[in-house]
């Protein structure tokens, strides 16, 4: 009961003391706020990115892998030269895989180009033109048709100029007209006219890049327009993730045979990859960001803690007389200790809470600008406030201890 009453008094004293020195309190808070803001903002942003990335790659999913001439990520010029010397991956390679790999479920090929697309007087730049075959590539890519239709098998083989457009095209070329208005229209890619057969469902954007800024055309048409010499990528889907390894092994064997290489060869002549390479790259990039941020936050929390300690020492000196009075009328060491500790923790906890708020605010602004979901995590908010409270305890302990062991007679003499 004594503890409770005295602690409540300490809380009131701390509040009124912080209120009485508003400017000082604000300045003391700054260090803690900056540190917590940085951590909360980065953690929140990265969590948002994580979710975006996970969703993006799961749309193809962990059941898809690729065979290509060179890997998705090239680490050096030497590698680039080496991969560039390899034989192009061809339609025949894809057909061989489809024929010879029992674990493979869907096999498709895709090749990409970036073009300017025109419709009437409208123009869309940097549109991804994706030549695919067969139409199961739409399933492998995880896209589906919203309005209209995909080309038929015979149309796909015919080399006719037909296409299925991503929803960004409606916005950029058709002035946001409904999808059915676009179907049947003719647009020009690289000067050639293409008939719009259908419009895709929107997929949103990742890292500010729209995934709907795309036009699918049959691979035969792509070949006609851009020539057969461009290397294509073979996409292979297995029914379930467990079969991925087996399918990759089979595909490697088939490709080694076709390139006349063995697993021991200096250069296999092809690359078998899953989207994991992106996830790994992304993971190592974000973990570096985490480390740097935590370092910055740690430094600013240490500095903030030193500021709090300094201010608390000033506060103890200023209030020596008050401490003397309180001790004279019966405050024990722990009452005084608690009083100053509560004050220090209150400053840092408030700083932490404000930091959590500004951190989420900053994350909100950045996520709105870049375009990924804002994931407010209660755990990181709790962590932000509790870490800063710990900073308060650590930095308040020494000043509070000095106050607690003041001699009441000496303290009363202070002015």
Partner 1 sequence: MSDATLTISPTENVIKPRTEVDGHDPEMLISMRNIWKTYQMGTEAVHALHGVSFDIPRGEYIAIIGPSGSGKSTLMNLIGCLDTPTQGQYWLNGKNVSEMDDDELARIRNQEVGFVFQTFNLLARATALHNVELPLIYGGVSASQRHEMAKTALTAVDLADRVTHKPNELSGGQRQRVAIARALVNHPSILLADEPTGALDSHTSMEIMDLFERLHSEGNTIIVVTHEHDIAARAHRVVSIRDGLIEKDERIR
Interface residues with partner 1 (CB under 8 A) are 1-6, 9, 16, 20, 321-322, 324-335, 408-409, 412
| CA separation for the pair 227, 218 (Å, rounded) | 13
CA distances to 16, 32, 309 from 312, rounded to whole Å, are 15, 15, 5
Share in percent of the chain as helix, strand, coil (round to 5)? 60, 15, 25
Nearer to partner 1, 177 or 328 (CB): 328
Tokens representing 213 are: 């800024």
Which residue, 4 or 379, has its beta carbon nearer to partner 1? 4
Cβ proximity to partner 1: between 191 and 330 the closer is 330
- Nearest CA to 214 out of 168, 275, 171, 174 is that of 168
State the nearest-atom distance from the C-beta of 332 to partner 1, in Å. 4
On whether the CB atoms of residues 236 and 110 are closer than 8 A, the answer is: no
φ/ψ region of 150 (left if φ > 0, alpha if ψ in -120 to 50, else beta) reads beta
CA distances from 275 to 66, 235, 321 (A): 8, 11, 68
When the beta carbons of 48 and 324 are compared against partner 1, the nearer one is 324
**242: DSSP letter:** G
Residue 208 or 330: the one with the smaller Cβ distance to partner 1 is 330
Other C-beta atoms lying within 10 Å of the C-beta of residue 73: 12
Q: In whole angstroms, how close is the CB of 337 to partner 1 at the nearest point?
A: 11
Min dist. Cβ of residue 9 to partner 1 (A)? 5
Kindly state the smallest distance separating residue 407's Cβ from partner 1, in Å.
8
Q: How far is the CB of 350 from partner 1 (least distance, A)?
A: 20
What whole-number distance in Å separates Cα of residue 29 and Cα of residue 202?
A: 45
Shortest spacing between CB 347 and partner 1, in angstroms: 18
Residue closer to partner 1, measured from CB, 47 or 326: 326
Backbone angles phi, psi at 129, to 5 degrees: -100, 120
CB of 414 to partner 1, least distance (A): 11
Closer by beta carbon to partner 1, 17 or else 213: 17
Token pair in block for residue 150: 């995909």
């Amino acid at each position: 009961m004594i503890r409770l009453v005295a602690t409540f008094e300490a809380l009131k004293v701390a509040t009124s003391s912080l209120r009485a020195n508003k400017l000082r309190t604000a300045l003391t808070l700054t260090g803690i706020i900056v540190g917590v803001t940085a951590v909360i903002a980065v953690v929140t942003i990265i969590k948002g990115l994580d979710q975006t990335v996970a969703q993006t790659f799961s749309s193809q999913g962990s059941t898809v892998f690729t065979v290509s001439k060179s890997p998705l990520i090239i680490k050096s010029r030497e590698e680039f030269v080496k991969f560039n010397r390899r034989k192009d991956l061809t339609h025949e390679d894809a057909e061989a895989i489809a024929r010879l790999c029992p674990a493979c479920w869907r096999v498709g090929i895709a090749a990409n180009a970036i073009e300017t697309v025109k419709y009437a007087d409208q123009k869309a730049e940097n549109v991804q033109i994706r030549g695919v075959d067969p139409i199961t590539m739409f399933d492998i890519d995880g896209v589906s048709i919203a309005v209209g239709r995909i080309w038929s098998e015979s149309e796909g083989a015919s080399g006719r100029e037909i296409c299925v457009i991503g929803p960004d095209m409606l916005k950029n070329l058709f002035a946001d007209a409904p999808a059915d208005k676009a179907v049947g229209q003719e647009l020009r890619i690289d000067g050639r006219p293409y008939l719009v057969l259908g419009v895709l469902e929107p997929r949103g954007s990742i890292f500010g890049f729209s995934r709907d800024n795309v036009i699918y055309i049959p691979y035969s048409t792509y070949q006609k327009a851009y020539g057969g010499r461009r290397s294509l990528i073979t996409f292979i889907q297995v029914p379930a993730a467990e079969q991925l390894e087996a399918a990759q092994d089979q595909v490697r064997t088939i490709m080694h045979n076709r390139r006349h290489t063995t697993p021991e060869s200096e250069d296999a002549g092809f690359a078998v990859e899953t989207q994991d390479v992106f996830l790994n790259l992304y993971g190592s990039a974000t973990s570096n960001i985490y480390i740097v941020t935590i370092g910055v936050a740690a430094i600013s929390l240490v500095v903030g803690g030193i500021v709090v300690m300094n201010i608390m020492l000033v506060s103890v000196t200023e209030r020596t007389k008050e401490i003397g009075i309180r001790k004279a009328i019966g405050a024990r060491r722990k009452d005084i200790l608690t009083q100053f500790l509560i004050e220090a923790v209150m400053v840092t906890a408030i700083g932490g809470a404000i930091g959590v708020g500004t951190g989420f605010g900053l994350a909100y602004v950045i996520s709105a600008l870049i375009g990924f979901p804002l994931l407010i995590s209660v755990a990181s908010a709790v962590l932000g406030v509790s870490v800063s409270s710990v900073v308060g305890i650590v930095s308040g302990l020494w000043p509070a201890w000095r106050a607690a062991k003041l001699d009441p007679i000496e303290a009363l003499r202070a002015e």
